[in-house]
Amino acid sequence: MKLALTRLSLRARIFATVGIVSLPLAATAIGAAVTLGNTVYTLDQAIVQSADRLDTAVRLQSRILSAEALTGDRTVAAGPRPASPGNEVRAAEAAFDEMLDSPSLRPRERMLVGKVRHEWRSEFVRRTAMLARPSAAQNPTQAVHILGALADAYRHESEALRSQIEAGTRRLRWIVSAAVIACLSVAAAGGALLARSVLQPLRALERGVARFADDELSYRLPAEDNDEIGGLARAFNRMAERLETHRNELRELSTHDPLTGLFNRREFEQRLQTERRRAVRYGRPFSLLMLDVDHFKDINDRYGHPCGDEVLTTLADLLRLNVRPMDAVCRYGGEEFAAILPETGRDGALVLAERIRRTVQDSTIVLDAARQVRATVSIGVATFATDAADGGDVVAAADRALYRAKHGGRNRVLADG
C-alpha cells in the first residue's frame, strides 16, 4: 500500500487518502439511511396492518353486539324502536365483508372470521326464532367471544410489534455505531498511512540536510519515490554531488600545486606539524628531504619558461615514482621540493635521497624532436629528533644541508651535521 502511495504525487496522495476516508463514511451514511428507511417502512406497514385488523375486529364486535341488543329488546318491550335490527344486521354483514376482504388478514385469521360469521348467523337465526326467551338475549354469543379473543390477539400482536420495533431500533443503533467505529478506524489508518508516507521522506530529508550541514557532502538521500519529495531528494542529491565535486576541486587547489600536482607549501606546513606531533607522542623519527634543481635559471634562460615547467613536472613525476605512498612530496617554492618521510631515520633517508639524485641524473627530458634536457638536483637531509628538536628546526637543518650540497659542487646528497 505504501509503495502504491509513494508512486503518486502529494496532491494525488492527499486526494486519494481523503477519498479512502470519505467513501466508508458516505457508504455508512447511505446504508444507514436505506436500512433505517426500510426498517421503518416495514414496521410501519406491520403496525398499520395490525391496527386495521384490530379496528375492524372491534367494529365488527360492536356491530354484532348492537344487532343482538336490538334483537333482545324486542322480547321485552313493545312499540317503536329507535333503530332497526335489520340495519344493524346489514352493518354487521358489511363489517364481516370488510374484514374478510382486508389484504392484511392472514389465511388462518380469515378462516377464523368465516367461522365467526357462521356462528353469528346461526346464533342470530336461533335468537330470532326464540323471541319469547329474553334470557337468551342477555347472554353474549359465541361469535362475540371469538371476536373478543381475536381482538385480544391483535392487541398482543401490536405489543409484540412494538417490542420488535424497539429491538430493531436498538439493533440499528448498534449497526450504525459499529459502522461509524469501523469508518473512524479506516479514517485513522488512512491518516496514519498518509502521515507516514509524507513524514518519513521529510524526516529523511531533514536528516540529510543536517548531515549536509555537518559537511558530510558524500551523504545521499533515498530517492526511489516518484512524488514531489522524491524529486526534491533527487535534486538535493544532485546539488550535493556538485558541491562535493566543487569542494574536492577547491581542496585540490588549496592543497596541491597546480603545475606539478604535488602538495603545496601550505599543505607541507600542516603535514610537517602533524608528523612532528606524531613523532613526539610515539617517540618515532621522521626525516625531511629538501631538493633544488641545479642551474635552473640557466635552463629557463636557454630554453624558456615552458621548458623549465616541463623540467619541474618531470622531476615531480620522478619523485612520486621513488617515494612510498605514506611519504608526502611537496613543491616548496620555485624549483625547490621537499619530501616528508615518516618512520625513517637518517640512513634510510640518505639511501632514498641518493636514489632520487641518481634517477634524475640518468633521466633525459625530451622537449621536442630536436631538443633534450638533462638536469641534476642537490638534496639536503635532516632527521627529527637527531638533527632538530622540533618541526621548524628540521626544515632549517635540511635547508642548511642543501646549502652545503649546492656550494659543495651540486648534484650531491648531504645530511645536516
User: How much is the pLDDT for 75?
Assistant: 43
Nearest residue to 224 via CA among 237, 240, 241: 237
- Is residue 106 helix, strand or coil? coil
Is residue 334 within 8 Å of 309, Cβ to Cβ? Answer: no
Nearest residue to 151 via CA among 201, 208, 99, 199: 99
Tens place of pLDDT per residue across the chain (417 aa)? 555 555 666 666 666 766 766 676 677 767 766 776 676 667 666 666 666 666 666 666 666 666 656 555 544 444 444 445 567 667 777 777 777 777 766 776 677 777 777 666 676 666 665 544 444 444 455 666 666 666 666 667 667 767 777 787 778 778 877 877 877 787 777 767 767 777 777 777 778 778 777 777 777 777 666 666 777 778 888 888 888 888 887 877 888 999 999 999 999 999 999 999 999 888 889 999 999 999 999 999 988 899 999 999 999 999 999 999 999 999 999 999 999 999 999 999 999 999 999 999 999 888 777 788 899 999 999 998 766 555 568 999 999 999 999 999 999 999 987
The reply to whether the predicted model has a pTM over 0.75 is no
User: How much is the pLDDT for 263?
Assistant: 94
Spatial separation of the C-alpha atoms in residues 36 and 172, rounded to whole Å: 7
What DSSP state is assigned to residue 19? H
Question: Cα 20 to chain center, whole Å?
Answer: 16
User: How much is the pLDDT for 356?
Assistant: 96
User: How much is the pLDDT for 253?
Assistant: 80
User: How much is the pLDDT for 7?
Assistant: 62
Hey, which bits of 194-312 come out as E strands?
A: 286-293
Q: Evaluate whether the domain defined by 265-415 bears CATH number 3.30.70.270.
A: yes
C-alpha cell at 261: 600536482
Burial class (CB in 10 A: 0-12, 13-18, 19+), 381: buried
Terminal C-alpha separation, the chain: 79
- Spell out the long-range contacts of 137-146 with Cβ–Cβ below 8 A and sequence spacing 24 or more: 137/68, 137/69, 137/71, 137/72, 137/73, 137/75, 138/72, 140/65, 140/68, 141/64, 141/68, 143/64, 143/116, 143/117, 143/119, 144/61, 144/64, 144/65, 144/68, 146/112, 146/115, 146/116, 146/119
Domains of the chain, by residue range, sit at 2-184, 265-415
